[in-house]
Amino acid sequence: MRKIFFAASILICLLMCGCSQNNMREYTENIFAMDTVMDLKIYSENDEALSEAKAEIRRIDTLFDRGNENSDIYKINKNKSADVSAETADVIRTALSISDRTGGAFDITVAPVMDLWGFYGNEFNVPSDDELQSTLEGVGYEKIRFDNTNISIPENTGIDLGGIGKGYASDRIANLLKNKGVKSAIISLGGNVHAICKRNDESEWTVGITDPHNKSQLIGKLKISDKAVITSGAYQRYFEQGGITYHHIIDPTTGKSADSGLASVTVIADSGMTADGLSTALFVMGLDKAIELWRGSSDFDAVFVDEGGMIYVTEGIADVFESDADYSICKRND
Ligand code: ADP
Ligand code: MG
């Protein structure tokens, strides 16, 4: 009798624990924040870490949302000079260092250009060349001035952290979950994926890379653990007018949708901020300059898909990339 009771309690325990072998249960959550859909999946003894992760995403959203009167970015853009949290100042500093290393392809002062095209608020409009030229006068990351945590910008300049904010959020969530003792989790912040440690069964996570020419398909998969995998693509936010497609990644030199011959760039890095900022920048730079930057760096790898559908994978992740399609491997010493 005791044996039957013992066997039954093990069975009940396994069912309650989602059949995991290490007493961890799977908790999932789907929320809308930072203007996108976010999926969180964690393995934990309870849902406490998941609740904290959600609260953290909401906090960061409020801090950076330039449409929210309580956000640091709103204050800078409205008053042109504002005391902000040390955290916001740090993220802006990191954004500027990505601008430096990408020759200005990444530039958080594209805000007025985003507004002109109506990407902020989704009221799309194709501006005239004159409008673009005068708006571009306010664009330039070197115009941002720091005095500790006081940040000032010129009258016609504005800041938009849309190209780096989700990467920052994923770094924060990864740290928070690890500090809470979570040993396995994966989060997707609008397709920006951050894998925390390995899967619950100790195998690598599989992260799919969307085919930029057909969003319902994948062009390949990566087997990774403890990495951010972040994609920037022309297919993610766009509108069409007069048969032309205008998308949300802006070339700061022209003020127009970047037209570098790439359809998507996926960056794989330890840091979500690096992966997010660089994916946007490399998309603007185009394949040749992007590869040149990769050759001189040691903190990221990438998968590029060009407008013709050709796939290029950097050497560092070639072993963990799987695809049914043909692809070229970019070598460090070519
Ligand atoms: P998503 O936010 O769709 O994941 P990205 O990370 O590529 O895609 O970021 C695009 C967003 O970044 C735009 O919506 C805009 O807010 C901002 N942005 C656009 N062009 C640039 C640029 N050249 N440098 C920095 N930020 C940019
Ligand atoms: Mg980005």
pLDDT in tens, 111-145: 999 999 999 888 899 999 999 999 999 999 999 99
**Tens of pLDDT, residues 5-21:** 334 433 333 333 333 44
- Cα 59 to Cα 63, 172, 330: the distances in Å are 6, 11, 39
| 3-state SS track over 183-242 | CEEEEEECCEEEEEECCCCCCCEEEEEEECCEEEEEEEEEEECCCEEEEEECCCCEEEEC
Task: Return the ∠ at Cα 161 (arms to 246 and 136), rounded to 5°.
Answer: 55
Instruction: Give ligand 1 pocket residues (Cβ under 6 A).
Output: 106-108, 110, 114, 119, 160, 162-163, 166, 190, 192, 232, 236-237, 248-250, 252, 276, 279-280, 284
Question: pLDDT value at position 236?
Answer: 83
Q: How many whole angstroms from 280 Cα to the centroid of ligand 2?
A: 4
Residue 121: the pLDDT is 80
pLDDT of residue 122: 81
Residue ranges of the chain whose pLDDT lies below 50: 1-21
Strand duo 184-189 + 150-152: pairing:
unpaired
Out of 61, 107, 110, 271, mutate this one to test ligand 1's pocket (max ligand atoms within 8 Å of CB): namely 110
- Report which ligand 1 atom has the smallest distance to the Cα of 250: 20
Best of 249, 278, 304 for a ligand 1 pocket test (most atoms within 8 Å of beta carbon): 249
Pick from 139, 248, 265, 282 the residue to mutate for probing ligand 1's pocket: most ligand atoms within 8 Å of its CB: 248
Ligand 1 atom with the smallest distance to the CA of 236 is 3
- Give Dmax over CA atoms of the chain in angstroms: 86
pLDDT on residue 130: 96
Map out the domains of the chain with their CATH numbers. 3-47+184-330 (3.10.520.10)
216 CA distance to ligand 2 middle (Å): 21
Written as one letter, the residue type at 326 is D
Model-level pTM greater than 0.85?
A: yes
